[in-house]
Amino acid sequence: MKETATTTSDAHDLPHAEYGKKARAKLTRYDRMMARRKPAKGQAASRATARRRMRAKTYQKIARQRQDTGRKWAGRS
């Protein structure tokens, strides 16, 4: 996909933001981390809460990036 939004005017087209690939990689990594929760012998039960928090922060960042891009596009004249 090259553009998120296409209009009749080329000046108002919204190019596709490529930050989603990096975020998807991070989310995949956090998912794998959360899947491997079995503790080693003598270790605490899990760090799931911290991992969930990292994952939630990444989702929040994605939402902020999308909002920012949309606002910048909407504010262009």
More confident residue, 38 or 20: 20
pTM of the prediction? Answer: 0.60
Q: How many domains does the chain have?
A: 1
Give the pLDDT band of residue 30 (cuts 50, 70, 90): confident
> Under DSSP, is residue 41 helix (H, G, I), strand (E, B) or coil?
coil
User: 8 in a domain, yes or no?
Assistant: no
Give the pLDDT band of residue 60 (cuts 50, 70, 90): very high
Looking at residue 37, its pLDDT comes to: 64
Phi-psi region of 42 (alpha: psi -120 to 50; beta: other; left: phi over 0): left
User: 71 in a domain, yes or no?
Assistant: yes
Give the separation between CA 30 and CA 41, rounded to whole angstroms: 23
Domain of 56, in residue numbers:
18-33+48-77
User: 60 in a domain, yes or no?
Assistant: yes
User: What is the chain's mean pLDDT, rounded?
Assistant: 76
Give the separation between CA 61 and CA 12, rounded to whole angstroms: 25
User: 75 in a domain, yes or no?
Assistant: yes
Q: Please state which of the ranges 8-12, 42-46, 54-58 shows the lowest mean pLDDT.
A: 8-12
